[in-house]
Each structure stands twice: as C-alpha cells, then as structure tokens.
Amino acid sequence: NAGVTQTPKFQVLKTGQSMTLQCAQDMNHEYMSWYRQDPGMGLRLIHYSVGAGITDQGEVPNGYNVSRSTTEDFPLRLLSAAPSQTSVYFCATAATQGSYNEQFFGPGTRLTVL
Amino acid sequence: AQSVTQLGSHVSVSEGALVLLRCNYSSSVPPYLFWYVQYPNQGLQLLLKYTTGATLVKGINGFEAEFKKSETSFHLTKPSAHMSDAAEYFCAVSDRRDKVIFGPGTSLSVIP
C-alpha cells in the first residue's frame, strides 16, 4: 500500500497562476483534509472532506478550492496564486469522520509563489 | 473555539536526559488530545493520543503524556533522549467533531 501520496513534491509558481495539488490515498479512508504548514504557526486546516461529494472549510480556506468526487482523491486548487500562499502543503486522511481518529499524512508539497 | 499553545519553540536536551515538551490547550468541551512528530522532510506521524479513560497515555518510541484537566495541559515526556528523537513535535486538540487544531510546534534538538 502506498498510503497517502502527494504530487508534485516541489512547485514554483508566478503570482496569478493557477495549479492543482494532488492527493491520493489507497486506505479507503472517508476523511481527507488539507493543511498548510508555515514556520512558527504549526499546521492550519484549509479544507476537509468527510466523504465523497462532501467538503467543508477549515481555518484558512480563502484562495483555495477543493472537490471530492471519489473516495481516493482530494485535489486542492489554487485559483490565482499569491506570495502569501508560499508554504508546505500536507494532505491527511483518517479512517472515519470523527476527530478522535489518527490522521495519516502525506509527504508534503513545497510551494513557492514568486 | 479550541486553541493550543506549546511553550518553547525550540528545546535542547543532552542525550540520555529527560525530554519534557509542554502543551496547554483551551477547549469548551472535553477534548481529544494528540502528539505528532515530524522528522525532516516528512509528514507528521502520531506519537500518542488521549480520548477517554486513563489520563497517562503511552505512545511509540518511549514517549508518554499525561492529561491534566485542572491544568489544561498535555505535556509530553520521555525519560532518556536518543539522538533519533531530534524532530519537530506538534500538540493538537480536537473539538470532538471534525476539526483538529495544531499547535505551533516545538523543535527538539538532542546534544551528544
């Protein structure tokens, strides 16, 4: 099992460009989420999904879109990249809805916006 | 709303010494509490968690944490530090629904 995979590992964008960060899991987990990690701020929740077709906003959703058409995939879209979105992005999954569950993290995508 | 504070953004200990990483939380409901570890250039992985029951929780790699409701704390300890313990450690709290809030992290260095 690959677990949680993220692509790409690194990306450099220019201001105003759009892109999609991919997240895939093969653990049949219902819950998937996206975090961004910035120095001194820990991880902040961007969006999450409790199952296919269901998404909701986290702490910092502005500038990002998500969709969940399948159990396996949860892409994160940056509509018009800004330097403030320079960060490391992590996708995480959990077996079921319910915040008592362990989350499994992907290896991260390091994004730089110039 | 939940929040987490971690005292000390960076902690250094000698190899073999006690590791103590502090975590305090605020929550309007009885919380679920977690400690995650992040090794360089990797994602986070769970060390231990408290949901209900025994307040002293044991995790992987010899770490443990104690939930103290009166102090709203969930400090992480390990009796004897190893070089391999050098990493970033994150405390997290949940609202017993869908969201987990992470603290800012503490970077642990282990000195030979």
Show residues of chain A in contact with B34, CB under 8 Å.
Answer: 102
Q: Look at residue A80 and tell me whether its pLDDT is greater than 80.
A: yes
Closest residue to A42, CB basis, from B34, B41, B90: B90
Two structure tokens written together for B98: 């869908």
B98-110 mean pLDDT? 89
How many whole angstroms separate alpha carbon B109 and alpha carbon B112? 10
Nearest CA in chain A to B96: A99
Residues B63-97: tens digit of each pLDDT:
999 999 999 999 999 999 999 999 999 999 987 66
Which residue numbers of B have CB closer than 8 Å to A's CBs? 4, 9, 32, 34, 41-46, 49, 51, 90, 94-105
Q: Where are the alpha helices (DSSP H) in chain B?
A: none
Q: Mean pLDDT lowest for which of A86-90, A97-101, B49-53?
A: A97-101
CA atoms within 13 A on the CB side of B108: 28
Share of chain B above pLDDT 70, in %: 97
A64-77 mean pLDDT? 97
Subunit contact A99:B95, Cβ cutoff 8 A: yes
pLDDT at B27: 83
Subunit contact B98:A40, Cβ cutoff 8 A: no
Q: Which helix (H) or strand (E) holds B15?
A: none
More confident residue, A93 or A98: A93
